[in-house]
Chains A and B, each alone.
Chain A
Amino acid sequence: MSGVLTLAVELAWWQQTGIRAVLGLVAVLLPAGTLVYLFLFKMMSFMQSRLGPMEAGPYGSLQLLAEVGKFLQKEDIIPEKADRIVFKAAPFVVLISTFLLVIVIPAGPDAWFIDVDTGIFLALAVSSISVIGILMAGWASSSKYSLLGALRAAGQLVAYELPLVLAVIGVVIQAGTLNVQGIVMAQATGEIFGWGGIGNPFILTQFLGFAIFLIAVQAELTQPPFDMPVAESELVTGYLTEYSGLRFLLFFIGEFATAAIFAALASTLFLGGWYVPGIDPTSDLFNVIGPVILLSKVILVSFLIFWFRFTYPRFREDQLQQLAWKVLIPLSLANIVVTGVLKVVF
C-alpha cells in the first residue's frame, strides 16, 4: 500500500497513520504560518509604507512564534452567560473542517493522504462544516455582536458556496473525473491543440471558473472585501468578539490555514497542482519536489487573494448577495453549459 511516501520498508497501519497525522499537522500549520508572515505581516506593511515586524529575528521572521507565545499566555475568558460547551467546541469544529480539507490535496504522484473517487466533492462538502462552527461561536457567545456576525457569516457562506461548487464543475467536466489526482494528471498529460509542451493547465480554458472560484474563496474566508461578518467598525469582530487567548488563536489559524488550503485547491484545479512542465508526471521525483512546487503555487494564488484583501473596500450586505446571486451564479452556470457543449464537440 503506497502511503504518504513510497518507502522500501513496509510500515504497520498505525505507523502510517502516525506519519499521516504529523504530516497533516505540518500541511495545515506550515502554509498558514507562511501566509501570515509573508502577506499579513510583510506585504500589507509594504503596501502601507511601513516595515511591519522587524524586532523578533531577522526581518521579524520569528514574530509568528512570539505571537503564538503571547496568545498562549492570555487568559481564556468565557462570558458569564455563554453556553460553555458550545462556546468551547466551536473553534474545534472550524479546525476539523480545515484538517479534513487538507487531506484531499495531493502533493505528488504518491504523496497523498487519501486518494478517493469523490476527491474534490469531498473537499467542497467538508469545507461547508465550518459554517456550523461559526454559527455555534456566534450563538454561544451570547452577545448581540457575535450573533449578528455569525448570521451574516452564515448568509454569506451559504450564498458563495454555490458559485464555488459550480466553478469547480467546469474543471470536473473537462477532466472527466472528481478525483483530485486524476484532475492533476489530466492537466499534466493534456494537450493544447495537439501541443503537449506545458500540458493543459485548466486556467487557460477555465479562466472564468478560476476567477469565480477566487472571488467565492475570498467570500468563504470572510476576508475584505467580503468581511461584513467581522466588520470591525460595525460589529467589533463579529463572531470572534468574545474569544480570547488560545481559542481566538485557533480561529485565527483556521482562517489562514483555510486560505492556504483553498489556494492549494485552486492551484490543483487550475494550475496543475504539483506538476511542472518538462518532467514526466509519473516520475518519482515529483514525490520530493511536488510539495515545494505546490507550496510555491499556493503562495502565488494567495498573493492574489491577499492583494484583493488589502486593497478593496468592504461591500454592503445587499451588494454582496447581489454579486453572488445575480452575477456569479448565472456566469458559472453559463460556464458549465459552454464547457459541456465544447466537451461533446471536441
Chain B
Amino acid sequence: MTTLAALEGMDRLSSGDVLVAQNVAFAIMAITMVAAALRMVTTRNVVHAALYLVIVLAGVAGLFILLGAEFLGVTQVMVYIGAIVVLFLFGIMLTKGSFGEDDGVTGERRLMAGLVGLLVFGVMAAALVESFADAEISRSGPSTTADIADSIFSAYIVPFEAVSVLLLAALIGAIVVARKD
C-alpha cells in the first residue's frame, strides 16, 4: 500500500540526504502561495480575493501531503476548500450581488492590518524558531490515518471532545443569533 506521499516520490532516506524532488515541489508551491496570498490582500475585488484564498489553501494542502501528512492534507481540502471558501463565496454573492464592478474594498484599515500581520508573523516565527530550531522532521515514513485516529481517540480524547462541545455551542449560538424573536 502506498500513500500519497510515496507517490510524490518520498523515499525513506536517511537523515541528511537532500530530497531534490521535494525541494523543487516545495519551491513551486511556496512561490505560488506567496504570490496568491499577496494578490489576495491587494486585489480590489472580493470574489477574486476569495478565489486567491482557494489557491493559498490548496497550497497548504499540498505542503501537508509533501510532508507525508496525507489525512491532514485531505481534510484541508474537504474543510477549507470544500466548505469554508464555498460559504465565503456564497455569502459574498448573496449579499453584494455586484459583478464585474469594483466592490470598493477600502484601504483605510491597511495600516492596522499590516501591523497585526507583522505582529502575528513575529510571534509565530519566534515561537517556531524557539521550539524547533535545528530539529529535523522525522523521515521514518508518512503518518497513517489509523495512527491519527488512534491518537485522537486515546491520548487526545479530552481535547477532542472539548472541541466538539465548543463547536456545538457555536452552532447553537448561531441559531440564537439568527432567530428573530
Task: Give the interface of A toward B (CB within 8 A).
Answer: 1, 13, 81-83, 86, 114-118, 121-122, 124-126, 128-129, 131-132, 135-136, 138-140, 142, 147, 150-151, 154-155, 157-158, 161, 178-179, 181
A154 touches B74 (CB 8 A): no
| B79-106 interface code vs A (CB 8 A; 1 in, 0 out) | 0011101110110011001011000000
Q: A115-B2, A142-B99 are in contact. Are A126 and B77 (CB under 8 A)?
A: yes
B1 within 8 A of A: yes
List the 10 closest A-B pairs by CB distance, nearest first: A128-B82, A125-B78, A142-B99, A125-B77, A117-B145, A135-B89, A81-B100, A118-B74, A122-B74, A125-B74
Q: A125-B82, A147-B97, A158-B83 are in contact. Are A117 and B71 (CB under 8 A)?
A: yes
Task: Give Cα A118–Cα B72 distance, bound, in whole angstroms.
Answer: 10
B22 within 8 A of A: no
Q: Which residues of A contact B74 (CB under 8 A)?
A: 118, 121-122, 125
Q: A158-B86, A161-B82 are in contact. Are A132 and B54 (CB under 8 A)?
A: yes
Dominant SS among interface residues on chain A: helix
Residue ID in chain A nearest B87 by CB atoms: A158
Task: Give Cα A251–Cα B146 distance, bound, in whole angstroms.
Answer: 37
Selected contact of A118 from candidates B51, B70, B83, B87, CB within 8 Å = B70
Task: Give the interface of B toward A (CB within 8 A).
Answer: 1-4, 7, 9, 47-48, 51, 54, 70-71, 74-75, 77-78, 81-83, 85-87, 89-90, 93-94, 97, 99-100, 144-146
A86 touches B90 (CB 8 A): no
A151 touches B93 (CB 8 A): yes
Selected contact of B70 from candidates A13, A116, A147, A155, CB within 8 Å = A116
Task: Give Cα A154–Cα B92 distance, bound, in whole angstroms.
Answer: 13
B1 touches A117 (CB 8 A): yes
Q: Which residues of A contact B93 (CB under 8 A)?
A: 135, 138-139, 147, 150-151
Min C-beta distance of A146 to chain B, whole Å: 9
Q: A114-B7, A139-B99 are in contact. Are A129 and B145 (CB under 8 A)?
A: no
Q: Which residues of A contact B71 (CB under 8 A)?
A: 117-118, 121
Task: Give Cα A78–Cα B132 distance, bound, in whole angstroms.
Answer: 52
B77 touches A136 (CB 8 A): no
Task: Give Cα A140–Cα B45 distance, bound, in whole angstroms.
Answer: 12
Residue ID in chain B nearest A165 by CB atoms: B78
B70 touches A132 (CB 8 A): no
**Can you show 18 pairs from A to B with CB atoms below 8 A apart?**
A1-B2, A83-B99, A86-B48, A86-B51, A117-B1, A117-B145, A118-B70, A118-B74, A118-B145, A121-B78, A122-B4, A125-B82, A131-B82, A135-B90, A139-B99, A142-B99, A154-B89, A161-B82
Task: Give Cα A130–Cα B145 distance, bound, in whole angstroms.
Answer: 25
Min C-beta distance of A194 to chain B, whole Å: 28
- Count chain A CB atoms within 10 A of each CB in B2, B9, B89 and give the residue with the most: B89
Q: Which residues of B contact A129 (CB under 8 A)?
A: 77, 81-82
Q: Which residues of A contact B2 (CB under 8 A)?
A: 1, 114-116
Residue ID in chain B nearest A81 by CB atoms: B100
- Count chain B CB atoms within 10 A of each CB in A125, A138, A155 and give the residue with the most: A125
Task: Give Cα A124–Cα B79 distance, bound, in whole angstroms.
Answer: 11
Selected contact of B86 from candidates A1, A122, A154, A179, CB within 8 Å = A154
Q: A114-B4, A135-B93 are in contact. Are A147 and B99 (CB under 8 A)?
A: yes
Q: Which residues of B contact A179 (CB under 8 A)?
A: 1
Residue ID in chain A nearest B149 by CB atoms: A178
